[in-house]
Amino acid sequence: MSTLFQKLEKIVSKEFISNDLYVRHAYSRNVNPVLQGVPDIVIRPSDAEEISEILKIANKENFPVIPRGGGCCEWGGSIADGNTGILLDMKRMNNIINLDQDNLIVTAEAGISWGTLNDYLSQFGLYTGSLGPGSGLTASIGGGISHHSVGAGGCAKYGACTNQLVSLEVVLPTGEIIETGSQANIFSKFPFNRFGNGPDLAGLFCGDNGIYGVKTKVSLQVFPRPSFAAYKTFLLPRKDVEAASQIMTEIRRKGIDVYDTIYMPQVIVGTGTPMGLFPMWEQLKRKRGILFYTIEANSEIELTERVKQLDNIFLNKKAEELGPELSDGNFAKWQYENPWHLYHNLWGMVPASEPFTAECFTPINTLPELFIDTQAWENENKEDMNQISEITGNLTILSGSGPIAMIDGNNVEYTVGFNTSNSYHDGKKYEIIDELNLMLWKSLLIRIFKHGVQYYMFGTLPSSLMVEIGAYTQEYYNLLKSIKKILDPKFILSRGKFNLNGD
């Protein structure tokens, strides 16, 4: 190990590499309470050339490498598979390379956060359209491309952030550096189009969860932010999930170009408001589900007409419009003005609780059945949940969904999961709690898998479960594995995801 460390140290210098136990443990977790993998070495490269040299050494030593952006993934996506490996911390690569205002394309290093990038673009009246994941104040754009991320804002209009991708610079697992899209042509002076020059190889690295290459440079379309916007919030009728599903479906059927439509289920409103999390809804007599929309336009006339269309859809489904200001309950206004702050507010709602979540894409009309089955899952697993409550004395098991955002097409992002107790209680660690929580988490993931949803932020846990329960056809999985073997013959990069271990 000392020889490997010395070789890597020559690439980045002492300042940007560590095998200190405390540093290694600082990189051993993502946004979940049980999955952990302690790397052997943490290294912070500055460019694609350094990453190329790191990967070449890793191949010679047959040593795994784990790319890590903001570390905001939920399922072990950027931690070591087992307690071994070289962890690439990409956050040092956070520079904006170029803003092409003529062609409306920005090029940045993959370690920059969505928040930082959009803050820069706002100086020019621009934005990335879809603002990436809800964790975009920290999450990197490279990680967003790796996950087809949505959630921060704009995803009803623009869809997943990969829709805006123009080109990528990628370091392949064996160390070669390639560019995709227009930049595959050596005579191209600047990125301008993702398609052409043969197959869409950029698509190979979209949603790959880091198994096919390390993204180092990303070029995205950017868009002028319209001058006019409106945002309204509505209290839904008693059967709120059915009403939300019907309203969002009707918006799509009418072809209204809405920027965002987000549903906050009754469990969020009913649980969070009494706890003081949503003071703007304390005056509501009925703490039911909330649905809000944001619409953008280039003129007052255009805006007024779209608002009228949307209001008619909501009011025809017996939704009640709240007032125009945040103090009146208009959460939509706050969310539009403060993107990246609406992230999974069901999870962590109960003090001292732990969230186990799952994010997937699903058709709008499947929402009611998913809600019903999530409740059925909770009822079927009460005995295991009660074991946890008996140890801690905390009745904190709470299942359901976080905010549900409409994305492109007739689809939504469904954020199912549950809150539970931490395994540390009264100064003692209870291993049984971790075991039960992990078992329950896997059980819920598989339950939702079997509705045919599309998970997009895979990590090691769900990607392996997909393979183990036979969710992929054998032909599809064989192709996935064959591509991996061609690009990464020693299975160096993100080893373990999709059960790709090189066995």
| Average per-residue pLDDT for the chain | 93
Is the predicted pLDDT of residue 1 greater than 70, yes or no? no
Q: What integer is the mean pLDDT of 6-31?
A: 94
Say whether both 382 and 446 belong to one domain: yes
- Determine, yes or no, domain membership for 344: no
DSSP string, 366-426: GHHHHHHHHHHHHHHTHHHHHHHHHHH-----EEEE--EEEETTTEEEEEEEEEEE-SEET
Is the predicted pLDDT of residue 394 greater than 80, yes or no? no
Is the predicted pLDDT of residue 210 greater than 90, yes or no? yes
CATH number of the domain where residue 63 is located: 3.30.43.10
Say whether both 286 and 329 belong to one domain: yes
Say whether both 67 and 165 belong to one domain: no
Confidence of residue 402 (pLDDT cuts 50, 70, 90): confident
Separation between Cα atoms, residue 142 and residue 216, nearest integer Å: 7
Tell me how many domains the chain contains: 5
Confidence of residue 165 (pLDDT cuts 50, 70, 90): very high
Is the predicted pLDDT of residue 314 greater than 80, yes or no? yes
Is the predicted pLDDT of residue 346 greater than 70, yes or no? no
Domain-terminating residue out of 224, 249, 265 = 224
With beta carbons less than 8 A apart as the criterion, state whether 117 and 97 touch: no
With beta carbons less than 8 A apart as the criterion, state whether 249 and 301 touch: no
Say whether both 243 and 297 belong to one domain: yes
Closest among 398, 404, 402 to 354, alpha carbons compared? 398
In this predicted model, which residue has the larger pLDDT, 331 or 1? 331
Say whether both 263 and 313 belong to one domain: yes
- Determine, yes or no, domain membership for 268: yes
Q: Identify the pLDDT of residue 229.
A: 97
DSSP helix/strand/coil, 147: helix
Q: Spell 266-305 as b/e; 16+ CB within 10 A means b.
A: bbbbebbbeeeebebbeebeebbbbbbbbbbbeeeeebee
Residue percentage of the chain with pLDDT more than 90: 79
- Determine, yes or no, domain membership for 346: no
Q: Spell 101-129 as b/e; 16+ CB within 10 A means b.
A: eeebbbbbbbbbbbbbbbeebeeeebbbb
Say whether both 286 and 232 belong to one domain: yes
With beta carbons less than 8 A apart as the criterion, state whether 266 and 332 touch: no
Domain-terminating residue out of 224, 243, 273 = 224
CATH number of the domain where residue 322 is located: 3.30.70.3450
Q: What is the dihedral of CA 123, 129, 132, 137, to 10 degrees?
A: 20
Q: What integer is the mean pLDDT of 279-290?
A: 93
Q: Whole domain around residue 359: which residue ranges? A: 353-460
Q: Could you say which DSSP state residue 58 is in?
A: H
Burial class (CB in 10 A: 0-12, 13-18, 19+), 224: exposed
Confidence of residue 32 (pLDDT cuts 50, 70, 90): confident
Say whether both 218 and 286 belong to one domain: no
Q: Identify the pLDDT of residue 344.
A: 59
Separation between Cα atoms, residue 90 and residue 197, nearest integer Å: 29
Is the predicted pLDDT of residue 396 greater than 70, yes or no? no
Confidence of residue 75 (pLDDT cuts 50, 70, 90): confident
With beta carbons less than 8 A apart as the criterion, state whether 149 and 143 touch: yes
Separation between Cα atoms, residue 295 and residue 259, nearest integer Å: 5
With beta carbons less than 8 A apart as the criterion, state whether 488 and 204 touch: no
Separation between Cα atoms, residue 140 and residue 90, nearest integer Å: 8
Q: Identify the pLDDT of residue 145.
A: 96
Confidence of residue 354 (pLDDT cuts 50, 70, 90): confident
| Helical (H) or strand (E) element with 88 | strand 86-89
Say whether both 123 and 173 belong to one domain: yes
- Determine, yes or no, domain membership for 345: no
Separation between Cα atoms, residue 78 and residue 484, nearest integer Å: 18
Separation between Cα atoms, residue 168 and residue 145, nearest integer Å: 10
Q: Identify the pLDDT of residue 151.
A: 87
Within 8 A by CB and 6+ apart from 241, the residues are: 263, 265, 289, 367, 368, 371
Structure tokens at 136: 């975009």
Structure tokens at 167: 């080109």
Confidence of residue 72 (pLDDT cuts 50, 70, 90): confident
Residue percentage of the chain with pLDDT more than 70: 97
State pLDDT tens for residues 407-452.
Answer: 999 999 998 888 888 888 888 999 999 999 999 999 999 999 999 9
Tokens 């301008």 — which residue?
A: 192
Give the Å distances, CA to CA, from 418 to 136, 336, 398: 22, 27, 5
Separation between Cα atoms, residue 448 and residue 377, nearest integer Å: 10
| Report field, pTM of the whole predicted structure over 0.85 | yes
Give the Å distances, CA to CA, from 341 to 58, 113, 121, 275, 412: 38, 14, 19, 18, 19
Phi first, then psi: give them for residue 194, nearest 5 degrees.
Answer: -80, -30
Confidence of residue 228 (pLDDT cuts 50, 70, 90): very high
- Determine, yes or no, domain membership for 343: no
Separation between Cα atoms, residue 28 and residue 81, nearest integer Å: 10
Tokens 């075991």 — which residue?
A: 435
Q: What is the dihedral of CA 145, 150, 153, 154, to 10 degrees?
A: 80
Structure tokens at 52: 């190329």
DSSP string, 264-276: E-HHHHHHHTTTT
Separation between Cα atoms, residue 127 and residue 118, nearest integer Å: 6
Say whether both 132 and 236 belong to one domain: no
Query: Interhelix angle for 240-254 vs 300-316, to 10°?
Result: 140
Q: Identify the pLDDT of residue 222.
A: 98
Least confident of 171-185, 456-470, 481-495: 456-470
Q: Identify the pLDDT of residue 340.
A: 81
Say whether both 203 and 239 belong to one domain: no
Return the number of other C-beta atoms located less than 10 Å from residue 252's C-beta: 17
- How many secondary structure helices (H) and strands (E) does the chain include? 16, 22
Is the predicted pLDDT of residue 348 greater than 80, yes or no? no
